Amino acid sequence: MDSEYKKEDFLLLFGSRIDIIRRKKGYSYERIAQGCNIDGSDISKISKGRVNITLSSILELSKGLDIHPKELFDFEIEA
């Protein structure tokens, strides 16, 4: 893991991973929000890499997307 890897880049990668999964499932932000306790506008901000969410929100997002949390981190990080 490249120790210089920046927080902002990581949040953007995480956010775009959420969006890829969302589109694949054909879910709207509202549809995800119905399955968890995060509202649609916050989910939109998360998917744009603007929110440094916590473990509990990661759990909630995985419920809303009906997917295991580790899938949310299935993206490349330059080594």
What gap in Å lies between CA 24 and CA 17, rounded to an integer? 11
What track of x and - describes contact with a copy of itself for positions 17 through 46 (by CB under 8 A)? ------------------xx----------
Q: What whole-number distance in Å separates Cα of residue 71 and Cα of residue 17? A: 9
Q: How far is the CB of 5 from a copy of itself (least distance, A)?
A: 7
Report in angstroms the alpha-carbon separations of 27 from 8, 11, 21, 36, 53: 25, 21, 9, 13, 20
Identity of the amino acid at 75 = F
Minimum CB–partner distance for residue 22 and a copy of itself (Å): 15
Looking at beta carbons only, is 30 or 71 nearer to a copy of itself?
71
Binding site for a copy of itself (CB under 8 A): 1, 3, 5, 7, 10-11, 14, 35-36, 52-56, 58-59, 62-63, 66-74, 77
